[in-house]
Structure 1
Amino acid sequence: MKKQRPVNLDLTTISFPAPALASILHRVTGVAMFFALVFVIWAWAVSLSSAEGFEQVKLVLQSFIAKFIAWGTITVLLYHMLGGIRHLIMDMGHWEELKSGKTSAVVTIVLWIVLAVLAGVWLWF
């Protein structure tokens, strides 16, 4: 039996609700943190290898690209932590209703944006 259902493959026309965006962002930031570990582990390994390695990492971290990568890593970690806390609270039975779930998702995203801006200010100034 063939089902005649409409198929919309253009994702730009779909309006996701805030809880869906929060959940998708939590998954995306988890994957991004995995790839950011390459930068973090490299910096950690080189900086702990010797005094010269530490100076090399300090020098590299003064470039714009390295600061941007560090900012991205920090913001990804911040959102994943906020989203994880939100999911833990939901696992305890809170914020499961439509209205409270939407409110918690919006608060999580707004708080993440504020913290990302503050992290950028802290990192670049």
Structure 2
Amino acid sequence: MTELSKKRPEFRNINAFKDLTTYRLPLAGWVSILHRASGGLMFLLLPLIVWLFDTSVSSEISYDVFRAAFSAGLGFVPGWFMKLVALALIWAYLHHLIAGVRHLYMDMFHAVSKAFGQSSAIFTLALSIGLTLILGAKLFGLY
């Protein structure tokens, strides 16, 4: 039996503890899962997003409260944690946007080949993480 004619494993009854730990999900699959996770994260943190926006644009006094939330903290939540939450929201927004455009492009132009899925997944991850690092550096005052 040659390498090409070897029978590939079939997963009919998947055991979550045995099979899923050995299954290698392709990069395009990870991007798709992260697209859903980023959308869920933004949905769950929507009340915080609305509060941050409202506080930042209401008045000069509320804008000072907004700025203080990231430096001194907010109640029992320290400022560095607020920055980490904001960084997570920045990543979620950027990844969801770029992966969403990727999905729309694949739907519009029927670009569903394995090679395009791999290359567009690499592009999506690199761009979303790169932009997050740049904006995170600004958030944490590195420039």
TM-score by length of 2: 0.76
Over 3 Å counting, the alpha-carbon distance change for 1:113 and 1:50 in structure 2 is closer
User: Structure 2 matches for 1:49-60, cutoff 5 A?
Assistant: 49-60=58-69
Find the partner of 1:8 among 15, 18, 33. Answer: 15
Aligned partner letter, 2:16: L
Q: Which residue of 2 aligns with 1:21?
A: 30
Superposed CA RMSD: 1.7
Write the letter of the residue equivalent to 2:65.
Q
**Number of equivalenced pairs:** 121
Query: Could you say which structure has the higher helix fraction?
Result: 1
| Runs of 4+ deviating beyond 4 Å | none
**CA deviation map 1:41-78 (0-9, x unaligned):** 11222344443222111111221111111111111000
Alignment of 1:1-125 (within 5 A): 5-10=12-17, 11-62=20-71, 63-125=79-141
CA distance in 2 between counterparts of 1:118 and 1:49 reads 28
Point out where structure 2 has 5 or more consecutive residues left out of the alignment: 1-11, 72-78
Identity of aligned residues (%): 34
